[in-house]
Chains A and B, each alone.
Chain A
C-alpha cells in the first residue's frame, strides 16, 4: 500500500526533516508511528497524503507515484486517503453533518447518497444524534470523532491519523483506538502517528520509530509478535 524508497524531505527553513527513509506498509496493516516531536512524523504523513512533496526518493501509495503526481491529479489522490488531525480541522460555522459531508460534496455526490453515507459514518463513530450540532458545542472527544467520520465517509482504503488522541484522556484515547481497530478489521490500512507510548505498547500493532528524520526501529509486531523488542 505504502512504499518509501530512500525518501528525503528538506525544508528551506528547517533543513532535512526526513532523510533516506525506506519502509513498506502492506495493504490491511495497522501501524503506529512514534518518535519525539520534530522527529518527522507529521511530515511523513503529509508526504503520503500529498500535502507535501518529497525532495528526493520515490514514494508509492496505492500504486501511485506521489512525488510525480501531476497537480491536477492531487485532489483525486487525497480523496483516496482519509486524514485525521490532532486539531480536528473542522469548519466551526457548519453543522456536524456538513463537516462530515464535505469530502462527498467535493466529489460531487447526490444529496441522498451524501445523507446516507454521512449517517452511516456518524453511526460508526457513535454521533448519529449530533448531526445538527455545531462542532464547538461538542467535547474534544466528540470533535475528534467528527474528524474521524469525515475521514472515513468516502471510504478511502487508507487512513492517516496525526496524534489523534493528543488532547484526549486515556479512556477516550482507548475508545478512539478501538474504533481504528474496527476499521482495520474491515480492511482499511491505517498509519497512526502518536507519542503516547504507553497506549501503543498496550496494543499489538507494528510500531515504527522515527528519530531526527531516520527510521530507528520497526517492531513488525503485527506480523511476528516474537520480534517485538518491547
Chain B
C-alpha cells in the first residue's frame, strides 16, 4: 500500500489553503447560526461603540474649542478719550511684559470694518454717523500663565491702568473647557480599556462554548491525526470574525449617532449664525477601532483555545 506523503514544496500552499479553509468554514458556521451570532456581535459592537462615541464627542468639542482659542484672549478696551499715540505707547509698554505673549492694537476703524464683515451687523453699522468704538488691545497671555490665580492677577494689573475702560477675559473659561475635553478624552480611554476587557471575555466565553459544543468533533479530528494547529485554526478565525464584525457594528452605530445628531447641531449652530459640521471617527480612529476589535477577537479566542482545547484529548 502506498503511504500518504506530501511533497515539501507544497507545504506553504497547504498552510495558506488551511487558513483560507478555516476562515471560510468559520464564516459559514456563523452564517449557519445567524441569531446567536448577531447577539454576540451586537454585544461586542455596543461595547466598542461607547468609547468610540465618546471619542467622537470629544473630537467635535475639541474642534469647537479650537475656533474659540483663536479669539480666546484678553480684550482691553481703552477709554474713548485715549488718543492713537497714547494707545500705541501703551501697546509698546505691554508688549514688554513677560506674562503676555502678544499684543495687538485694534483701531476703531479696523474694529468697525470687522463688525461690518460679521453677518447681520452690516446694516446696523451703515446707520451709524460716527464711529463709537474705542481703541482695543487684544492681548494673548503667555502659555506659562496657566492657573486661574495668575490670570486674575494679570487682570487686576490691567484694570488698574489709567487708560483702561474694561477688561474682558475669555481665557479662563476656554481653558476650563479644554480641561473638560481632556477629561472626556481620558474617560474615553479608560472606558475603552474596561470595555475591551469585557469584549475579550465575551469572545473568549463564546469560543469556549463553541469548543464545548464541538468536543466530539475535536476528539475525532485528533484521532485521525489532526495537528493542534489544524484544530485551533477555525476557532481562532471565529474570534477574528466576531471581533471584526463587532468593530463594524460599532462603527455603524457611531456613524448612525452622528447622522442623527447632525440635524439638531446644525440648527443650534444656525442660532449662533455659525456652521458646524460634526466630524466622525476619521480614517485613523476607524483603523484603530477595526484593528483593535480584530486583535481583541484574536486574543480572546487564543486564550479560550489554549485553555480549553488542550484539555480535550482522545481516549
Task: Mark A residues whose CB is within 8 Å of B.
Answer: 46, 49, 51-52, 72, 75-80, 83, 89-91, 102-104, 106-109, 150, 154-157, 186-188
Residue contacts A-B, CB under 8 angstroms, 23 given: A46-B315, A49-B223, A51-B314, A72-B227, A72-B228, A75-B222, A79-B224, A80-B3, A83-B223, A83-B224, A89-B220, A90-B220, A91-B216, A91-B220, A102-B224, A104-B4, A107-B6, A107-B225, A108-B6, A108-B14, A109-B4, A150-B224, A155-B4
Question: Contacts of A51 on B, CB cut-off 8 Å?
Answer: 223, 313-315
> Which of A79, A106, A155 interacts with B2 by CB under 8 Å?
A155
> Which of B1, B226, B315 interacts with A106 by CB under 8 Å?
B226
Q: When chains A and B are docked, how far (Å) is the Cα of A157 from the Cα of B3?
A: 8
- Identify the closest chain A residue to B15 (Cβ): A108
B17 within 8 A of A: yes
A153 to chain B, nearest CB (A): 9
Task: Mark B residues whose CB is within 8 Å of A.
Answer: 1-4, 6, 10-11, 14, 17-18, 216-217, 219-228, 230, 313-315
- Those 4 A-B pairs whose CB atoms lie nearest each other, nearest first: A79-B225, A78-B225, A108-B14, A106-B226
> Which of A78, A109, A157 interacts with B224 by CB under 8 Å?
A78
Question: Contacts of A89 on B, CB cut-off 8 Å?
Answer: 216, 219-220, 223
> Which of B220, B228, B314 interacts with A102 by CB under 8 Å?
B220
A146 to chain B, nearest CB (A): 12
A106 to chain B, nearest CB (A): 4
- Identify the closest chain A residue to B32 (Cβ): A93
Question: Contacts of A156 on B, CB cut-off 8 Å?
Answer: 3-4
Count of A-B contacts with CB under 8 A? 73
Known contacts A75-B222, A75-B225; 13 further A-B pairs (Cβ under 8 A): A72-B227, A75-B228, A78-B224, A78-B225, A80-B3, A83-B223, A103-B225, A106-B221, A107-B6, A108-B10, A108-B14, A108-B18, A155-B3
> Which of A90, A104, A150, A186 interacts with B1 by CB under 8 Å?
A186
For A75, A78, A104, A154, the residue with the greatest tally of chain B CB atoms inside 10 Å of its CB is A75
Question: Contacts of B223 on A, CB cut-off 8 Å?
Answer: 49, 51, 78, 83, 89
Q: When chains A and B are docked, how far (Å) is the Cα of A77 from the Cα of B313?
A: 15
| Given contact pairs A51-B315, A157-B3, A106 touches B224 in the complex (Cβ within 8 A) | yes
- Identify the closest chain A residue to B224 (Cβ): A103
Q: When chains A and B are docked, how far (Å) is the Cα of A188 from the Cα of B1?
A: 8
- Identify the closest chain B residue to A188 (Cβ): B1
Q: When chains A and B are docked, how far (Å) is the Cα of A76 from the Cα of B6?
A: 12
Question: Contacts of A108 on B, CB cut-off 8 Å?
Answer: 6, 10-11, 14, 17-18
- Identify the closest chain B residue to A83 (Cβ): B223
Question: Contacts of B224 on A, CB cut-off 8 Å?
Answer: 78-79, 83, 102-103, 106, 150, 154
Question: Contacts of B226 on A, CB cut-off 8 Å?
Answer: 75, 106
Question: Contacts of A106 on B, CB cut-off 8 Å?
Answer: 221, 224-227, 230
A28 to chain B, nearest CB (A): 11
- Identify the closest chain A residue to B10 (Cβ): A108
B67 to chain A, nearest CB (A): 61
> Which of B10, B217, B314 interacts with A91 by CB under 8 Å?
B217
| Given contact pairs A51-B314, A89-B220, A91-B217, A187 touches B225 in the complex (Cβ within 8 A) | no
- Identify the closest chain B residue to A103 (Cβ): B224
Q: When chains A and B are docked, how far (Å) is the Cα of A90 from the Cα of B224?
A: 11
> Which of B1, B10, B219, B313 interacts with A157 by CB under 8 Å?
B1
Question: Contacts of B1 on A, CB cut-off 8 Å?
Answer: 155, 157, 186-188
- Identify the closest chain B residue to A42 (Cβ): B315
A46 to chain B, nearest CB (A): 6
B31 to chain A, nearest CB (A): 15
Question: Contacts of A109 on B, CB cut-off 8 Å?
Answer: 4, 6
